[in-house]
């Protein structure tokens, strides 16, 4: 992760006055300076006493002004982990807010889209049937296949957080066990307006068929980061984590979105001095980053950074890599899901960052074993406040970590995943982007906000 810490002034820059040397000094005088005349020495002693008295009085006055109110206790009594609060940073607004969508609302609840009752969708894990919930209608509705178009399946999969649709078909109602009183949602031919307006509740399906939908696999671990203060990750725990290398040299992390698509940070690859795409290799399904053999890596066919990426502000810090050969999914290699659109995540949501980056700021080498760390989301207003990042975050960024420091991503973790569990699958919420130092107090990690860039991800992967 690129550090933006300012340079410290070099030590020893202050010049100190001295008396002219009187003859050849002895060894003691080489260390402490040549003797001055007695009268000048007395004058200097008097001035030193006056300055000392002034300094002592000033210190007592400042101490009196800064003394905490009665009952508050001293900083030592409050604990070393206390971080000054930022008054302008308190908030209850979501850290992650889904990008505006022209499609049907997903996520349920009592929210509304465009002033109409919201429709939320899910796919049954038992039989892949598409189910819907409409506000003010109890229970889940099956979706009739009548007036169903191929583009609807793709759109719904993307809005549910999948990269693409893999299969859709009409299933005969007589082949499905339907409970008495089952109601259905019917798509109607759209005459302008939004997709949200195209749904009607029906007591039956005239076509006699309902929609079954399958989306690209993602978000599941085999079982059940650059990371400072993290612990070793078990094999298969983060199967979407990849190492993006030049040859066998680790440069950045990345996340598997599909067998041929990797998501990483634009600052990892956006430079005219960087090698062409075939010189980059992606290593997937590994935990130990010891002796990597180039033949085990998958060559990159194409690198696509976001066209609005700014190398100075790190805004739009996102890039897609298309592999020459698709990955073979297994227990060790799987894809992460994208955030559903729209999705709200509040500050304090616990997420995980992983990577092979530096395990301490002063240790300038990558970790041998994949690390992981639990980091909570931090409100953007707080992260942009005067005592943290002073307004440097854009809408395409989010913060996660601890204001006390100690746990954070670091150099070498850039491009890697920040994932959050939503109760059923792991969502790729952020991409390790930047920060000031590593694990410093009041300088948490800054991540690319994936939810804000979903339209670009879908557009690129579909075009290619």
Secondary structure of the chain as H, E, C letters: CCECCCCCCCCCCCCCCCCCCCCCCCHHHHHHCCCCCHHHHHHHHHHHHHHHHHHHHHHHHHHHHHCCCCCCCCHHHHCCCCCCCCHHHCCCCCCEECCCCCCCCCCCCCCEECCEECEEEEECCCCCEEEEEECCCCCCEEEECCCCCHHHHHHHHHHCCCCCEEEEEEEEHHHCCCCCCCCEEEECCCCCCCHHHHEEEECCCCCCEEEEEEECCCCCCCCCCCEECCEECCCCCCCCEEEEEECCEEEEEEEEEECCEEEECHHHHCCCCCCCHHHEEEEECCCECCCCCHHHCEEEEEEEECCCCCCCCCCCCCEEEEECCCCCCCCCCCCCECCCCCCEECCCCEEEEEECCCCCCCCCCCCCECEEEEEEEECHHHHCCCCCCCCCCCCCEEEECCCCCCCEECCCCCCCEEEEECCCCEEEEEEEEEECCCCECCECEEEEEHHHHHHHHHHHHHHC
pLDDT of 75 over the 70 cut:
no
Region 436-453 average pLDDT: 91
pLDDT of 253 over the 80 cut:
yes
pLDDT of 26 over the 50 cut:
no
* CATH number of the 96-215 domain: 3.10.250.10
Q: Which of 317, 402, 443, 458 is catalytic?
A: 317
- The pLDDT-based confidence of 79 (bands split at 50, 70, 90) is very low
Q: Which of 341, 414, 433, 443 is catalytic?
A: 414
- The pLDDT-based confidence of 74 (bands split at 50, 70, 90) is very low
Return the pLDDT at 360. Answer: 60
Return the pLDDT at 93. Answer: 73
pLDDT single digits (tens) 266-286? 999 987 567 788 789 999 999
Tokens of 366: 């990558």
CATH of the structural domain 227-463, one choice from 1.10.150.20, 1.10.10.10, 2.40.10.10, 3.40.50.10470: 2.40.10.10
- Of 66 and 360, the one with more pLDDT: 360
Return the pLDDT at 32. Answer: 26
Return the pLDDT at 46. Answer: 53
Q: Which of 267, 306, 402, 443 is catalytic?
A: 267
Return the pLDDT at 378. Answer: 94
Region 210-235 average pLDDT: 71
Return the pLDDT at 236. Answer: 81
Return the pLDDT at 190. Answer: 61
Region 322-345 average pLDDT: 90
Question: What CA–CA distance (Å, rounded) separates 275 from 297?
Answer: 16
- The pLDDT-based confidence of 439 (bands split at 50, 70, 90) is confident
Return the pLDDT at 109. Answer: 34
Torsion angle, alpha carbons of 154, 158, 161, 162, to 10:
50
Return the pLDDT at 106. Answer: 39
Return the pLDDT at 231. Answer: 61
pLDDT of 395 over the 70 cut:
yes
Count the Cβ atoms, other than its own, within 10 Å of residue 134.
Answer: 20
- The pLDDT-based confidence of 51 (bands split at 50, 70, 90) is low
Q: Where are the domains of the chain?
A: 96-215, 227-463
Please, are residues 258 and 164 in contact by the beta-carbon 8 Å criterion?
yes
| % pLDDT > 90, the chain | 42
Region 151-166 average pLDDT: 91
Please, are residues 221 and 235 in contact by the beta-carbon 8 Å criterion?
no
Region 213-234 average pLDDT: 68
Min mean pLDDT across 136-140, 341-345, 458-462 is at 341-345
Distance of CA 263 to the CA centre of its chain: 12
Residue 151 region by backbone torsions, left for phi larger than 0, else alpha for psi between -120 and 50, else beta: alpha
- The pLDDT-based confidence of 101 (bands split at 50, 70, 90) is very low
Q: Note whether 96-215 and 227-463 share their fold.
A: no
Please, are residues 371 and 230 in contact by the beta-carbon 8 Å criterion?
yes
Catalytic residue status for 317: yes
| % pLDDT > 70, the chain | 66
Does the pTM exceed 0.75? no
Return the pLDDT at 385. Answer: 92
Catalytic residue status for 414: yes
Return the pLDDT at 20. Answer: 31
């Amino acid at each position: 992760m690129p550090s933006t810490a300012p340079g410290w002034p070099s030590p020893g820059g202050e010049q100190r006055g001295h008396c002219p040397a009187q003859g050849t000094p002895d060894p003691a005088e080489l260390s402490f300076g040549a003797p001055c005349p007695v009268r000048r020495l007395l004058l200097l002693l008097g001035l030193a006493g006056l300055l000392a008295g002034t300094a002592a009085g000033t210190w007592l006055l400042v101490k009196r002004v800064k003394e905490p109110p009665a009952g508050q206790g001293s900083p030592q009594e409050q604990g070393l982990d206390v971080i000054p609060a930022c008054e302008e940073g308190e908030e209850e607004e979501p850290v992650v807010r889904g990008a505006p969508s022209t499609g049907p609302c997903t996520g349920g609840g009592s929210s509304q889209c465009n002033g109409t009752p919201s429709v939320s969708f899910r796919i049954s894990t038992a039989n892949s049937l598409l189910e819907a919930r409409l506000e003010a209608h109890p229970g889940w509705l099956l979706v009739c296949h009548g007036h169903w178009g191929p583009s609807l399946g793709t759109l719904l999969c993307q809005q549910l957080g999948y990269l693409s649709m893999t299969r859709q078909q009409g299933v005969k109602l007589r082949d499905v066990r339907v409970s008495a009183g089952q109601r259905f949602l019917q798509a109607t031919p759209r005459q302008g307006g939004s997709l949200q307006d195209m749904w009607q509740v029906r007591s039956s399906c005239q076509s006699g068929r309902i929609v079954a939908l399958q989306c690209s696999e993602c978000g599941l671990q085999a079982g059940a980061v650059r990371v400072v203060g993290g612990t070793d990750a078990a094999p298969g725990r983060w199967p979407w984590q990849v190492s993006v290398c030049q040859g066998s040299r680790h440069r950045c992390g990345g996340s598997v979105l599909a067998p041929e698509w990797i998501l990483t940070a634009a600052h990892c690859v956006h430079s005219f001095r960087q090698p062409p795409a075939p010189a980059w290799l992606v290593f997937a399904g590994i935990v130990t980053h010891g002796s990597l053999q180039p033949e085990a890596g998958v060559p990159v066919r194409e690198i696509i950074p976001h066209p609005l990426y700014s190398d100075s502000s790190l805004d739009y810090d996102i890039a897609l890599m298309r592999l020459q050969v698709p990955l073979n999914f297994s227990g060790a290699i799987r894809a992460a899901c994208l955030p559903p659109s729209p999705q709200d995540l509040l500050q304090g949501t616990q997420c995980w960052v992983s990577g092979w980056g530096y395990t301490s700021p002063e240790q300038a080498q990558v970790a041998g074993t994949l690390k992981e760390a639990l980091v909570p989301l931090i409100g953007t207003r707080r992260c942009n406040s005067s005592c943290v990042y002073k307004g440097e975050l854009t809408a395409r960024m989010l913060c996660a970590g601890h204001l006390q420091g100690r746990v954070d991503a670091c150099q070498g973790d850039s491009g890697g995943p920040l994932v959050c569990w939503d109760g059923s699958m792991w969502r790729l919420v952020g991409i390790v982007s930047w920060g000031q130092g590593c694990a410093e107090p009041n300088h948490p990690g800054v991540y690319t906000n994936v939810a804000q860039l979903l339209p670009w991800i879908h557009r690129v992967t579909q075009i290619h």
